[in-house]
Structure 1
């Protein structure tokens, strides 16, 4: 029986091309990850999230092995700073406590029309100043977006200095701040379309409220579809 199954599986591999087989593996792998998340972390994701992350993994594999169609390669991912090219807006902000260097982040993902999509907050590594905290918050937002399979987005921040630094073509300065900025640039370059614009602090109250709340939390928290109660009244 084992030999029969092996022969069947071998014939199956021959019947599908490499792209189709890899797509199947990506889907099964992310279903398995979702199963582990449900069993061990008591977190049940949405089906579209599993699909989106599987597609993102498959796209990353095609880029790595050079199997993408030529017409797709012609439109290589670019980072257009200040241009709203994405369908989703990701607001991020950092909270910073100067005496002990403690920092926290707040992230809010919304549709272009303003509808709430998802949110997350949590603590940051020790920070040497507000700019470093903002840079780490940006890094957290980009990592979160990649995990969700979001490949087109507009980042929104009230930190003008960070926006200018990320838009500059100058090499990163050699400091802890520079390491964080470099990580942000690397993550932005992996997205299909990523822009960053500066907004007034009054327009970033959701992310700011989440960052402030994270300072009193032991662990990071995430919300899907429905915002947390303490910011629900602020959501349009």
Structure 2
């Protein structure tokens, strides 16, 4: 049996957990401070509570929520670099790279939407967006038991990420039925969250 010392590889000062590694570590908190994004305070919250706080905050735009997700990914990637390479980037460099990747992703997605090989109906106004939302849905079968599952991702019409979900399905090994049930899951979520103007896409 080997005793492992659970010390944060980024700061080397405190015990590491998810909230510390991604939010309250000296390195991570410096990144968040420089970002000037409108995030909830870290104090008194665990990671789940903190994430639920900004996801449910209507004053935080979908674009900003996407940027927050990007920073979480980049902070975790930097933490892994500290573990395996003994190196941490400057917070300013992390910020520049994260913002550049987000802008490049939005441009790429907008080009993808314009090049879709089909036409979509003009959506009606919606309380979340005057142009409605776009929802991509898919179903699949996984593993030797061909376990059915679904997944969907929701974007604003301009390509801004809004939400995503996945889960198991209950059906036989029938791709057409699985696709139909995946559509039902996506439509149910959209209805429960107040969306009425939706472009639904499935491959």
Structure 1 and Structure 2 fold alike (TM over 0.5)? no
TM-score, length basis structure 1: 0.33
TM-score (norm 2): 0.38
Higher relative contact order (CA 8 A, sep 6+): 1
